[in-house]
Structure 1
Amino acid sequence: MSQHRCHWANHELETTYHDTEWGVPLHDDRRHFEFLTLEGAQAGLSWLTVLKKRGFNFVGPTICYAYMQATGMVNDHLISCFRHKELLKLK
């Protein structure tokens, strides 16, 4: 049986990020800052671009929500994604 994952994870870097980091609850201040920086850089860019480069542009509601997704504050994996159920167990 093949695993289904969220539709945006199409490239090797995105797949690795999706499967190992995105949505996993964080409890480390340095990692939180790293994710906040990545979300700032992501604004208006594809994730593939962000995963290849790092930067900080601005913080607003969209970036804050994306940060909450990335750090596991909300579980926005598709219900059909294998990570959705796995991450429910970590809360």
Structure 2
Amino acid sequence: MTMTVAPSNSTLTPSIQRCPWAKSELDQAYHDTVWGKPEHDDRRLFEMLILEGMQAGLSWSTILRKREAMSKAFDRFDPHLISHYDEGKLQELLQNPEIIRNRAKISALPLNAQAFLRVQEEFGSFDRYLWSWVNHSPIQNQWTEVTEVPAKTSISEAMSKDLLRRGFKFVGPTICYAYMQAVGLVNDHLLSCDQHGAC
């Protein structure tokens, strides 16, 4: 009599637990490697600030699909170069079908780059300015449901007012909170998510 041995479960790859919003492959890659991870590189911080502003009124998946094209079109998010964009360059960008072609958002690019450089000059780095909003340590939330995650907080409201005062555009309280989530000032991965402990 021949006995059939069931395969060992030890070789099975354990399922990955993610926040419910990470559905597509692009979303999942971003969720696993970027969202909520503390970021301190000024160029990356500027890139994410621009992308969050570009996202206003759109899905984040749209931004992820166009991210590389925008990086190429926006000189790899170099604030020094973007700060000198003139009307001719802005018109050129508005003709580029691969990026977000919203006139107000495109026009905000050099203004945000100029404001970003002013903050760098005042504080020594944008990183130092930004992380001061959370006393240089990520806020660790303990959410169990997506519905618990806020769209804005008192900190993002105060940050928004200060950024607007400094000349930034597309930095409302909701955008600022999404920015805080993206660059790791706040950990809003659910407790059930594998990335919660990593952040």
1:3-49, Cα deviation, whole Å (9 max, x unpaired): 21011111111110000111110111100000111111112211110
- Which of 40, 50, 62 is matched with 2:63 structurally? 50
Equivalence for 1:72: 184
Q: Which 5+ residue runs of structure 2 have no aligned equivalent?
A: 1-13, 71-99, 106-169
Root mean square deviation, CA, Å = 1.4
Q: Distance in 2 between matches of 1:84 and 1:11?
A: 19
Whose helix fraction is larger, Structure 1's or Structure 2's? 2
Q: Which 5+ residue runs of structure 1 have no aligned equivalent?
A: none
Give the secondary structure class of the aligned counterpart of 1:19.
Answer: helix
Which is bigger in relative contact order (C-alpha 8 A, separation at least 6)? 1
Runs of 4+, deviation exceeding 2 Å: 53-57
Task: Work out whether 1:35 is the aligned partner of 2:147.
Answer: no
Bigger Cα displacement from structure 2, 77-86 vs 48-57: 48-57
Q: Distance in 2 between matches of 1:42 and 1:82?
A: 26
Give the secondary structure class of the aligned counterpart of 1:27.
Answer: coil
Counterpart of 1:44 in structure 2: which amino acid? G
1:42-90, Cα deviation, whole Å (9 max, x unpaired): 1221111011224583110001000000000000011100000111xxx
Equivalence for 2:174: 62
Counterpart of 1:24 in structure 2: which amino acid? K
Equivalence for 2:193: 81
Bigger Cα displacement from structure 2, 20-29 vs 38-47: 38-47
Q: Percent identity?
A: 64
